[in-house]
Amino acid sequence: PINKILISSCFLGERVRYNGVVKPLVNKLLQQWQKQGRLISICPEVISGLPVPRPPAEIDPNTKQVITIESIDVTEQFDKGAKIALHLCQQHNIQLALLKESSPSCGSNTIYDGTFSQKKIIGEGVTTKLLRVHGIKVFSEASIEELAAQIDK
Ligand code: SF4
């Protein structure tokens, strides 16, 4: 069986981002995987019931709560989205994920620092964290070649 890959649905040009702006990732490998039927897409935030557009949210580095710029605690929604993403991986026997860097859900190396000042720190998003706990390897748009090297040809 071919390896399937979980992918942030914003990479496929779906209108799921917090600000409603569509931002597809244009990449040859991605096009190839799409054609091969490898990609299973999800936006953990939208699947949890959050709207588009929605206020930006960041993880508080101390409490680990996810808080919007309007000071609303959306941790529960983010946790729910992460669980649905994990379930989807388990259903499709997915071991690999390509998720958007720096997102409070999907970030895999960096996230914003919780102060809404565009500053990034080392860290991972809520979905990435849960997937990794369950052994799924998470890559970003910057490490797509490394992901390609993990795939059975
Ligand atoms: Fe993209 Fe993930 Fe943000 Fe959804 S939660 S818009 S999939 S980065």
Domain that residue 12 falls in: 5-55+76-100+124-150
Q: pLDDT truncated to tens, each residue of the chain (153 aa)?
A: 689 999 999 999 999 999 999 999 999 999 999 999 999 999 999 999 999 999 999 999 999 999 999 999 999 999 999 999 999 999 999 999 999 999 999 999 999 999 999 999 999 999 999 999 999 999 999 999 999 999 976
Residue 73 is classified by DSSP as B
Ligand 1 shell residues, CB under 6 Å? 8-10, 16-17, 43-45, 100, 103, 105-106
CA of 9 to the centre of ligand 1 (A): 7
Is there a domain that residue 28 lies in? Answer: yes
143 domain residue, yes or no: yes
* Global confidence as pTM: 0.97
ipTM higher than threshold 0.90:
yes
Query: Which residue in this structure is represented by tokens 């998720």?
Result: 99
Residue 110 in any domain: the answer is no
Three-state SS string across 19-64, please? Answer: CCCCCCCCCHHHHHHHHCCCEEEECHHHHCCCCCCCCCEEECCCCC
Atom number of ligand 1 nearest to Cα 46: 4
